[in-house]
Amino acid sequence: MAQLIEFSNKGLYVPPADIYIDPWKPVNKAIITHAHADHSRYGMNHYLAHEDSANVMRLRLGDIHLSTLKYGESFVQNGVKFSLHPAGHIPGSAQVRVAYKGEVWVAGGDYNTEPDVRICAPFEYVPCHTFITESTFALPVFKWQKPETVFTAIKNHHAQNKAAGKITFLFAYSLGKAQRIMAGLSGETDVFHTHGAVHNVNEALRKQGLDLPPDIRITRDTKPADLSGKIVIAPPSAAGSTWIKRFKPRSTAFVSGWMRLRGTRRRRNVDNGFILSDHADWDGLNKAVQATGAERLFVTHGYTGVYAQYWRDRGLDAREVVTDYTGDEGSESENEEKA
Amino acid sequence: MKHFTRLFTQLDATTKTNERIEALRIYFDSASPSDKIWTIALFSGNRPKKPVNSKQLRQWAAELAQLPLWLFEETYHVVGDLAETMSLIVPENTAKNDVSLSTVMCELVELRSKSDDEKRHYVTKRWSEFNSNERFVFNKLLTGGFRMGVSRKLTVKGLSLHTGIDENTLSHRLMGNPDPLTTTFEKLILSPDDDENLSRPYPFYLAYPLEEEIGLLGKPADWSAEYKWDGIRGQMIARGGRIYLWSRGEELVTDRYPEFEGLENLLPEGVVIDGEILAFAAGKPLDFAKLQKRIGRKKAGKKLLKEVPVVLMCYDILEYEGRDLRSEPFAVRRKLLEKIVTDCDSSQLLLSPVIPFEAWSELKPLRENARTLKTEGLMIKHQNGVYKTGRKRGEWWKWKADPYTADAVMIYAQRGHGRRANLYSDYTFAVWKGDDLVPFAKAYSGLTDKEMKQVDRFVKQNTLEKFGPVRSVNPEMVFEIAFEGIVESNRHKSGIAVRFPRIKRIRHDKEPKEADTLERLKNLIRVKA
C-alpha cells in the first residue's frame, strides 16, 4: 500500500488530500507546523497553521492566504482528517495528525517535550501508527538541565556583569528562544532591551495575545551608557557584527542546546554559553517516540542515521528521511539558530 | 577535584591571558602544596602513564549509560573528544564527594597495576561521585589527553605571582620533568638544593621565524649566520662525571644515543652545550626521515646504529665550569664553544660552522640552496644577544628556505576534534597518476575559520560515501599544499611521504585536472638528491 504521507522532493505530501506539510517548494495547499523560516516558506497558494503562528507568519511572509486552526480542532479533506496538536517548540508550533481509513500518522515538526508553558502549550503525546520525528539533538550526550537551573545561572551571570558595569548580551533565536528567555528572567529586570529582529517578533506575538515582559528596541539613538548593567537579547547573527561593536563594555553569551558541547561553545568565541533548547533532548525524543506507540518511525533533520538505527535495534521499522529542513547532521550554522 | 575543576572551568572560559594568569594565581594561593606540584606537572605535560586503555573506558561508559557501543562510538565522532563524551553520557550522580587532585593522581598511578575488575570498579565509582565538569577533568587525567592551552609560560607567570620568585628562575627550576611522586613543592620551587639536580637542563631559547626583509635587521656586522640543521634540538650536560642528553621535549634521551658514551671523559666538568642531534655520515647530514627511525627507538640495534649514526652539531654553550653563561653575549659564548669543542676533539661533537658574510645579499643564495645541503635554511643570531628563555623575538631568527608546494585535489574529509568537533576540518589530498587520483598528504591547518566553514559546507553537499567520521567527496576542490620535505616511502600508496604538509590556500581558480602529477613530486626527490 502507498504511504499516507510521502516524502516528495517538495515536502511531506498527503496524496489523497493533495496537501503538503512544511513544503520547501511552492505548492497549492500547505499545512505549516511552525513559523521558523525553514518550515514556513514563501510561495504557497494556501497556508494553514495554528492561530498563534498567524501574526509571525504574516510578519515574515507578507500578505499570504492563511487559515488557522486551534489545537485539537480538525478538518476533513477528501476523507483525510487533519488536526493540530501542541509541539512545545515555540508559540503556535504544532504536530500534524493525519488520519485516513483507520490509519494514523503524526508529523512532529520541531518539538520539545518540556516547554515553558508561559510561552507555549504543553507537548501532547499523540498516539499513532507512524510517527515522523525530528532528530536535531538525537544523541545521548544531549541532556538538558532543568530550565530553573539554567535561569539561575543566567541571573548570576547578569548580576556579575551588572556589578562590573557591563552590558549582558544574550544571543538567542528571535522567535521562540528570545521569548522563553524573557519569560524565564522576568522580574530580573524592569525592561529588556532587544535587537530589532527580536522586538518585531515580540510585538507580533503580543498582538496575538501572548503576555510578555516589556522590551525596548535598540535604535541608532541608543547610547551604550543607557544599557550599562542591562540585559540585551539579540539574534546569533548579531555576534561579532558591526551593530554590536559600539556597545562596550559587554559580556556575551549564547543560549542554545549546542552549548552542551565544549567544541561548539569554544568555536563561538563568546564569554559564556547557557544550555537551553527548544528541542527535545535525547530522553525527551525517546519518550515521545515511545508514547506514540508507533510501529513505524521516520527520522528527519538532525542525527537521522544514528537515531533510525537506534530504533531499528529496538524493533521499530525506522528509516531516515532526507528533507530540506536543515543542512545535515548538526550543520549548526543554521541549526543552532533555532536550537 | 572541585578546586582544580574550578580552575579548569575558569581557564576554559576565557582566552584573555591576564584573566588566565590571575585564575592560576588565585588557585595557587589556596591550593595545598601537593595539589600545586601535581598541577605544575600536569600543565607541563608531565603526567603518569595511562592507567586504563581507552577501549575499556568506552565500554564501561556505554554500559553505565545502558547504550550500545556503536551508539557510543557514533556520539564520540560527533563530540570529537573522548573524555567529554564519557562525562556527558554517564548518568548524573547522586553521591557527593570531594577528593583532592593529588589523591586522585596517586590513585591513578597505582591503578595501572591493578586488575581489570578493580580498575572498572574504581573508575565507575569515581564517575558516580563527580558532577559532569569534574568527571570531564577526571576523564582527561585518565585518557592522558590533558591539554587546555595552559603553556609552561602561563603556569610560570601564575606561579611567579604566587611565590614572588622571578619567571626565569622558576622556568629553570621546572625543567626536566620533575616527578610529583618524588619531589615536593618546597624542594622544587621554594628552596631547591642544586646538588640534587645535576641533570637539570636549562630552558631552551627558541628562534622566531624571520618574515620581514632581512636587510631590516640592520648592520650585517652585528649578526652571525649558521645553517639551520634538520635534526632535533638537544642539550648536553656534563656534570658530576656523567653526561646527560635532553631533547627539547624535556625528555632525557642519553641512553638512546650510545654514540655519546665516553664524552664524560673528554668534556670538562660543569659544561652545558646546546645543539642539534643530527643524523650524519661521511661528512654530511642525512635526511630527517632517517633520524626519525632513531628518535622513537629506546635501544637502537647494531644495524640501525650503523645505518643512521648520530652527532651533536654544537651551536651554543650555556654553562662553563659550573657557571651559568646565559647572560653573556653570543659572541663570547661562541668563542668559548669553539675552544671546548676543538679541545674535546671528538667525532661525535661537531661545531656548527659560522657562515662569513659582509652583505645580506650574500646570504640569499645560500638560503635558497639550503635544501641541497639537507638543511632547513639559515639561522641569524645577534652577536650581543643573551640566551633567553622560550620563544622570543629580536635576536635569534630562523630564516627557512621556502617550502615545496603542490596543487592537489581534496578527496576525503574527516571531522575535527575539540574546537573543530563537528566541522569537517581534516582533509586528504591527492595528485594525478595517469587518470587516477592518488592520496599523498593529509592536512588540517592553514585555513581561516571562515574558509573552513566554506569547505565544511562543500563536504556536506558533495559527499559520495560515509565511513564513520570520514567522507569521500567529489574531487572538485583544488588546494595549494606546502610541505617541508619529501622522501620515497614504501609505506604509502603514492610511494612518497611529505613532511609537515599544510594548506597554503584554496585554488578556486584551478580545475581538478590542473592539479599536479605524482611524477612531478617524485622529480622533486631526484632533484634534491
Nearest residue in chain B measured CA to CA from A304? B74
Gap from B466 CA to chain A (nearest CA, Å): 11
Geometric angle at alpha carbon A338, from B444 and A289, rounded to 5°: 100
* Cell numbers representing residue B528 in the block: 634534491
What are the domain boundaries of chain B? 2-143, 205-400, 404-528
CATH 3.40.50 fits A147-274, yes or no: yes
Residue B148 is predicted with a pLDDT of 64
Nearest residue in chain A measured CA to CA from B454? A333
Residues carrying CATH 3.60.15.10, chain A: 6-141+278-320
Which residues in chain B are closer than 8 Å to A314, comparing Cβ atoms?
none
Is the Cβ of B69 closer than 8 Å to some Cβ of chain A?
Answer: no
Which among A240, A191, A190, A237 is positioned nearest to A218, based on CA atoms?
A191
Q: Nearest Cβ partner of A327 from B68, B72, B460?
A: B460
Q: Per 3-state DSSP, what percentage of chain B is helix, strand, and coil (rounded to 5)? A: 40, 25, 35
Q: List all residues of chain B from 130 to 149 with a beta carbon under 8 Å from chain A.
A: 136
Which residues in chain A are closer than 8 Å to B74, comparing Cβ atoms?
139, 303, 306
Nearest residue in chain B measured CA to CA from A259? B79
**pLDDT band at residue A5, thresholds of 50, 70 and 90?**
very high
Of B36, B140, B228, B381, the catalytic one is B228
Across chain A, mean pLDDT equals 92
* Cell numbers representing residue B495 in the block: 610511494
Size of interface A-B (CB pairs under 8 A): 71
* Of residues A326 and B446, more confidently modeled: B446
Which among B345, B369, B341 is positioned nearest to B355, based on CA atoms?
B369
Gap from B122 CA to chain A (nearest CA, Å): 23
Gap from A88 CA to chain B (nearest CA, Å): 25
- The DSSP annotation for B73-121 comes to HHHHHHH--HHHHHHHHSPPP-------HHHHHHHHHHHTTS-HHHHHH
From first to last of the 529 residues of chain B, give the pLDDT tens digit: 899 999 998 888 777 888 899 999 999 999 999 999 999 998 887 788 889 999 999 999 999 999 999 999 999 988 888 999 999 999 887 667 789 999 999 999 999 999 999 999 999 999 988 988 899 999 999 987 666 667 788 899 999 999 999 888 888 888 887 888 888 898 888 887 766 678 889 999 999 999 889 999 999 999 999 999 999 999 999 999 999 999 988 888 998 999 999 999 999 999 999 999 999 999 999 988 899 889 888 888 999 999 999 999 999 999 999 999 999 999 999 999 999 999 999 999 999 999 999 999 999 999 999 988 999 999 999 999 999 998 888 999 999 998 899 999 999 999 877 667 678 889 999 999 999 999 999 998 788 888 998 999 899 888 888 877 789 999 999 999 999 888 888 888 899 999 899 999 999 989 999 999 999 999 888 776 5
Which residues in chain A are closer than 8 Å to B67, comparing Cβ atoms?
140
Residue B146 is predicted with a pLDDT of 66
Provide the pairing of β-strand A46-50 with A103-107. Answer: unpaired
Q: Nearest Cβ partner of B79 from A141, A267, A306?
A: A141
Residue A329 is predicted with a pLDDT of 28
List strands edge to edge, sheet with B223-229: B208-209, B396-400, B375-382, B223-229
Helix B2-13 and helix B132-143, axial crossing angle in degrees, nearest 10: 90
Is the CB of B419 less than 8 angstroms away from the CB of A267? yes
ipTM, 2 decimals?
Answer: 0.91
Q: Is B339 a catalytic residue?
A: no
Of the residues A143, A266, A313, A320, the best mutation for testing chain B's interface (the one with the most B CB atoms within 10 Å of its CB) is A266
**What is the fold of B205-400?**
D-amino Acid Aminotransferase; Chain A, domain 1 (3.30.470)
* Digit-coded pLDDT (tens) for A224-247: 999 999 999 999 889 888 899 999
B281 and B289 in contact (C-beta within 8 Å)? Answer: no
Residue A330 in this model has a pLDDT that exceeds 50: no
Q: Nearest Cβ partner of B75 from A141, A264, A267?
A: A141
Of the residues A262, A282, A336, the best mutation for testing chain B's interface (the one with the most B CB atoms within 10 Å of its CB) is A262
Residues carrying CATH 3.40.50, chain A: 147-274
Is the CB of B12 less than 8 angstroms away from the CB of A313? no
CATH 3.10.20.90 fits B404-528, yes or no: no
Which among B205, B230, B443 is positioned nearest to B352, based on CA atoms?
B230
- Which phi and psi (to 5°) does residue B287 adopt? -55, 145
Q: What number of CA atoms fall less than 13 Å from residue B277's CA on the CB side?
A: 25
Residue A324 in this model has a pLDDT that exceeds 90: no
Distance CA B61, CA A40 (A): 41
**pLDDT band at residue A101, thresholds of 50, 70 and 90?**
very high
Domain boundaries B2-143, CATH class = mainly alpha
CA gyration radius, chain A: 20
Lowest mean pLDDT among A13-17, A36-40, A104-108, B445-449: B445-449
Residue A335 in this model has a pLDDT that exceeds 90: no
Q: Nearest Cβ partner of B418 from A263, A303, A310?
A: A263
Q: Nearest Cβ partner of A262 from B67, B68, B84?
A: B84
**What is the fold of A6-141+278-320?**
Metallo-beta-lactamase; Chain A (3.60.15)
Residue B492 is predicted with a pLDDT of 85
Cβ neighbours for B296, distance < 8 A, ≥ 6 positions apart: none
Is the CB of A327 less than 8 angstroms away from the CB of B457? yes
Q: What is the pTM of this model?
A: 0.78
Residue B181 is predicted with a pLDDT of 87
Which residues in chain B are closer than 8 Å to A333, comparing Cβ atoms?
453, 457
Q: Nearest Cβ partner of A272 from B13, B65, B67?
A: B13
Which among B403, B408, B445 is positioned nearest to B429, based on CA atoms?
B408
Gap from B143 CA to chain A (nearest CA, Å): 17
The terminus-to-terminus CA distance of chain B in angstroms comes to: 56
Is the CB of A267 less than 8 angstroms away from the CB of B67? no
* Cell numbers representing residue A77 in the block: 479533506
- Which phi and psi (to 5°) does residue A19 adopt? -125, 140
Which residues in chain A are closer than 8 Å to B14, comparing Cβ atoms?
271
